[in-house]
Structure 1
Amino acid sequence: MPKVSEEHRAARREQIIDAMLRCVARDGFHKTTMAAVVGESGLSAGAVYLYFKGKDDLIRAIAELVAGEGLSVVLDRAVADVPPPHRVLEAVLERVIAIGEERGIELHRVALQTWAEAARDPEIKAIYRREGSRGRAAWATYVERAIAAGHLQHDADPARIAHTLIGLIPGYMVQRLFFEDLTPASYAAGLADLTGCAAMRRANEDNT
């Protein structure tokens, strides 16, 4: 019997996750059944259950996907020529949208549902806590370098700013439900306006 390659396993796993994402985006978590995922994936029930024992396993996989997206973008911006915060936020949001488009869904709709699951499921909450800690550390590293680059005031607290920037991401996703014309660029421009006003006020105070 031929040995299944790791690439094949990874591709099958992604195929099943994509099917679950489509089902959840269309019908919601609680209406999505394993039978629906099997049908959506085009695989046999045995093949699906080989990778995921049940719906909870798939929900955890989706939670990890949603929570982990954008982390590499922040880390990349922290080690490269450091752009201002609104540019990093814009890049993260664009990446989230691109991931959804690649998978044929609106990822923000699924993300909102995984957050709701985290409120009731301790295991999913633990996933978000773990991924959130990684994200907070990445953002704090970026903020430290943004301060050094002069984008933020020199006495700013990296941990506090990291929490604030992280909070802007779900804020965008919530608003996308109601304002479909809201783009990452326009949303991030609002942050640029806010930080620009703060910088101007500080400069005026220093001159008085």
Structure 2
Amino acid sequence: MPRVTEEHRTARRDQILSAAMRCVARDGFHKMTMANVIAESGLSAGAVYGYFKGKNDLIQAIARRAVGGFAADLDTLADGDDQVTLPGALEVVLARARGLTADSEGGLPRIAIHAWSEAARDDEVKEIVRTNIDSIIKSWARVLARARADGNLGPDGDLDQMARSMYSLMIGFALQGLILDDVDEESYLAGFTALLA
């Protein structure tokens, strides 16, 4: 029997995860079942369960895929050689959001809203979402500390409080983009820059 390559395993896992994300975007976490994901993926039950033990494993993987890159991008910015400004940092985050939205065929904002809604009623989902939010807020605090060190942020103000506000700007962009037809990165960033002025 031929050995399965790591590339094949990664592609199969991504196939299952993408199917789960489509199910969540369409029906929410509470209606997503393993049977739905199996049908959506076009794979056998054995194949799907070979990668994910159950629904909670899928929810964790979806959460990591949806927000993991934000923290990494912010950390890269904080550790880089270029001057860090708040508009520049927000621009990086909005570009990441655009890319993820395109990759998920527009489903990412809906998935995020479903995750927050489910977190209000399910403690396990709440812990998953909270862990991811905490990670992004910590990364924002690092970016803000770097902006302050670069002279692009005043010396006053608690970095954690400001990081939570920057996270809220991310959420606001996702929500407005889902509901309103006239929100884009450029206008959102222009509004933020004007506020700072």
Structure 2 gaps, min length 5: none
Counterpart CA distance in 1 for 2:98 and 2:121 is 26
Post-superposition Cα deviations, 1:95-130, rounded to whole Å, max 9, x if no partner, equal 122123123233111111011112222222222232
Matched, 1:3 2:7: no
Normalising by structure 1, report the TM-score. Answer: 0.85
Alignment correspondent of 2:52: 52
CA distance in structure 1 between the aligned counterparts of 2:178 and 2:136, rounded to whole angstroms: 24
* Aligned residue in 2 for 1:126: 127
Q: Could you tell me which residue of structure 2 aligns to residue 204 of structure 1?
A: none
- Cα distance in structure 2, aligned partners of 1:117 and 1:63: 12
What residue identity is the alignment partner of 2:59? I
Aligned-partner SS, 2:106: coil
Deviations along 1:157-179, one digit per CA (max 9) or x if unpaired, are 22221111011111111112221
Alpha-carbon shift at residue 146 of structure 1 (Å): 0.6
Measured in 2, the distance between the counterparts of 1:124 and 1:145 equals 32
3-state SS of 2:120 partner:
helix
CA contact (8 A) 2:177 2:183 kept: yes
Equivalent in the alignment of 1:20: 20
What SS class does the counterpart of residue 101 from structure 2 fall into? helix
Q: Provide the rounded CA distance (Å) in 2 between the counterparts of 1:11 and 1:107.
A: 20
Aligned to 2:40: 40
**Percent of paired sites with the same residue:** 45
Retained in 1: the 8 A contact 2:30–2:118?
no
Q: How many angstroms apart in 2 are the aligned matches of 1:36 and 1:105?
A: 20
* Partners of 1:108 and 1:174 within 8 A in 2: yes
The question of 1:99 aligning with 2:100 is answered yes
CA offsets per residue over residues 48-104 of structure 1, 9 Å max, x none?
111122223212221222232311221122122133212211221221221231232
Q: Distance in 2 between matches of 1:105 and 1:84?
A: 29
User: Does the 8 Å contact 1:75/1:138 carry over to 2?
Assistant: yes
Show the 5 A alignment for 1:53-68.
53-68=53-68
Q: Is the 8 A contact 1:38 1:44 kept in 2?
A: yes
1:128 and 1:86 mapped to 2: Cα distance?
Answer: 26
Would you say how many aligned residue pairs link Structure 1 and Structure 2? Answer: 196
- SS of the residue 1:69 aligns to: helix
CA contact (8 A) 1:83 1:146 kept: yes
Corresponding letter in the other structure for 1:129: R
Worse-superposed segment, 56-65 or 43-52: 56-65
Contact 2:77 2:89 in 1 (8 A): yes
Q: CA–CA distance in 2 between the matches of 1:125 and 1:64?
A: 14
Give the C-alpha shift of residue 17 in structure 1: 0.7
Superposition RMSD in Å: 1.8
Counterpart of 2:159 in structure 1 is: 158
Contact 2:94–2:185 (CA<8 Å) still a contact in 1?
yes
Q: Which residue of 2 aligns with 1:173?
A: 174
TM-score normalised by the chain length of structure 2: 0.89
Q: 1:166 to 1:15 in 2, by over 3 A?
A: same
Q: Between 178-187 and 11-20, report the one with greater CA deviation.
A: 178-187
SS at match of 1:24: helix
Q: Which amino acid aligns with 2:11?
A: A
Q: Map of 1:73-92 to 2, 5 A cutoff?
A: 73-80=73-80, 81-92=82-93
